[in-house]
A and B are shown apart, each in its own frame.
Chain A
Amino acid sequence: ETGVTQTPRHLVMGMTNKKSLKCEQHLGHNAMYWYKQSAKKPLELMFVYNFKEQTENNSVPSRFSPECPNSSHLFLHLHTLQPEDSALYLCASSQDQGSFYEQYFGPGTRLTVT
């Protein structure tokens, strides 16, 4: 595997379910990100981790719970979601957490909450 991978690619869940999204980067990067992409809206930064430590929580509801066990893996645990949480969830990584570092994105998980 190369680059940034995400599983699953598609997920349908009910509002009472609990599920997790997984992201893995094979680039040796130190920073990892979760973004939410909704139609016709700019990308919304959700969480940032640098060297496994959370450095940013962009006022995300507690029904989204991130986990970063090491610099290569990032999870997003989901529970009691709402229909408006349906979106494409993108994971990204960068060499370090800095303004001039480009980000490398995974293909995303298309989440539908029913």
Chain B
Amino acid sequence: AQSVTQLDSQVPVFEEAPVELRCNYSSSVSVYLFWYVQYPNQGLQLLLKYLSGSTLVKGINGFEAEFNKSQTSFHLRKPSVHISDTAEYFCAVSGDTGGFKTIFGAGTRLFVKA
């Protein structure tokens, strides 16, 4: 069965500092990986996704993530964060395991301080 672990429930960081939000997954088959962001009082929206090809994926708002198959990780990074990046970030995995389900992690709360 697939699973997703987001290693940090909360990440406080100062404005303009770099940030990395960690995500590890477990799956025995090919996977598709996603990062979603949820701003207060809103639904989730896609930041970026890895389906195949280049392991470095660039998304919206200056975020990027790197797929590391050997470490089963898909960490999200941004070189310089803004106050407006304060939100909840969800890593998700899906794959061909006899189902189509997307499994979401528990989320990481990014709090950007001035």
Contact = CB atoms under 8 A, between A and B. Distances in A.
Interface of A: 4, 6, 40-43, 45, 48, 56, 90, 92, 97-100, 102-108
Interface of B: 4, 9, 32, 34, 36, 41-46, 49, 51, 90, 94-96, 100-107
A6 B42 CA distance: 11
Contact of A99 (B44, B90, B100): B100
Contacts of B32: 99-100
B contact face: mostly helix, strand, loop, or mixed: strand
Given A98-B100, A99-B95, A100-B51, A41 B106 contact: yes
Given A40-B106, A43-B90, A97-B100, A102 B34 contact: yes
A90 B104 contact: no
A102 B49 contact: yes
A2 to B, nearest CB: 13
A100 B44 contact: no
The 4 closest A-B pairs by CB, nearest first: A105-B43, A99-B94, A43-B104, A105-B44
A87 to B, nearest CB: 14
